[in-house]
Amino acid sequence: MTTPAHQLPQITRANGIDICYEIFGDANAEPLLLIMGLGAQMIHWDDEFCRRLAARSFRVIRFDNRDIGKSSRMSGGKRLTALELIKLRFLKIPVAAPYRLADMARDTIGLMDALGIRTAHLVGASMGGMIAQEVAITFPERVHSLTSIMSTTGNPKIPGPTREATAVLMAPPPKSKEEYFVRYGQTWKVLRNGSFPEDEALDPERARRTFERGLNPEGVGRQLRAILASGSRKERLRSVKAPTLVIHGTIDPLVHPEGGRDTAASIPGAKLLMIEGMGHALPIPMWPEIIDAIDKHAHGAAAKAA
């Protein structure tokens, strides 16, 4: 099998900000946008994962969301407090946020416009799934198919994260490079919720690449605020027309498996794939099942539309 074409990272103007993106695969293949989650740079869509998807006849585009990696850094918003979370949960007092998921959805559309892409298959993980859902709701004509991975609807009735995952999410930023490397390994051990030696062996290199591309703890805080301020999409998801696949791990400690079930139940005709033993991560041993599912779903949607 030949190695898919690879276009190195570039920066373009989209929705009034700079977006850093990278492309794998043939320029004439069907566009497939990968949208990453909270505080995660585009490289968390592993290079080899992207190459394997591109080998399935997709033009794979990954990008840094606003406030992360090499994309524009925003401003405003203080560190989220426990009091705000209590007010949100029990008093339904909304969290203030400099921007919302709808703005990040417009970033995605802006990137598509900049690349001359009319419609694309969207694959979003965690917060990226929320953004992809928002795009499918607001810009239905731009979405060929939707795959929402380890994400949720924003429905407040869904159980919250485990205590360990909450601690990871709310931990103060590391104070040094050494502390960051240690924290990186600890964080992914909690999120994977199991032993994955192949991934653990790669964690130091993944941490190095992430660190060298630049950290933005304040931006992660703003992204979290965007999620909490955006509320529930559950009712609006009933309007989604794009063929939808929902993938979720059975032992996800951060976004409860009910979040995936609720997403699939809220979108007409959505298919649900629960992956046994998967936490809040995309471990290497599970790539074949995940890639096969995305491939079958996206190409199936394209065949029906033809």
First to last CA, the chain: 27
Residue 98 Cα to chain centre, angstroms: 20
Which tokens is 107 given? 């970033």
Sequence-distant (6+) residues with CB within 8 A of 195 are none
Which tokens is 52 given? 């394997």
**CB contact at 8 A, 148 and 247:** yes
The whole model's pTM is what? 0.95
| Residue 233 pLDDT level (bands cut at 50, 70, 90) | very high
The model's pLDDT over 10-40, given as tens digits with 9 standing for 90+, comes to 999 999 999 999 999 999 999 999 999 999 9
Mean pLDDT of 202-219: 96
To the question of domain 6-305 being in CATH 3.40.50.1820, the answer is yes
Angle between helices 127-138 and 217-230 (to 10 degrees): 50
| Residue 272 pLDDT level (bands cut at 50, 70, 90) | very high
pLDDT value at residue 293? 98
| Residue 127 pLDDT level (bands cut at 50, 70, 90) | very high
Integer Cα distance of 72 and 68 in angstroms: 7
Integer Cα distance of 263 and 152 in angstroms: 6
Rg of the Cα atoms in the chain: 18
Integer Cα distance of 53 and 60 in angstroms: 7
Average pLDDT, the chain: 95
Mean pLDDT of 193-201: 97
Helix (H, G, I), strand (E, B) or coil at 118: coil
Mean pLDDT of 60-85: 90
pLDDT value at residue 1? 56
The domains of the chain are located at 6-305
Q: Is the pLDDT of residue 137 over 90?
A: yes
pLDDT value at residue 306? 62
Q: Is the pLDDT of residue 92 over 90?
A: no
Q: Is the pLDDT of residue 219 over 90?
A: yes
Amino acid at 227: I
Q: Is the pLDDT of residue 275 over 70?
A: yes
User: Comparing C-alpha atoms, which of 26, 12, 17, 22 is closest to residue 43?
Assistant: 22
Tokens 């779903």 sit on residue: 297
Residue 95 Cα to chain centre, angstroms: 21
C-alpha neighbours within 13 Å on the C-beta side of residue 50: 27
CA-based torsion, 257, 261, 267, 271: positive or negative: positive
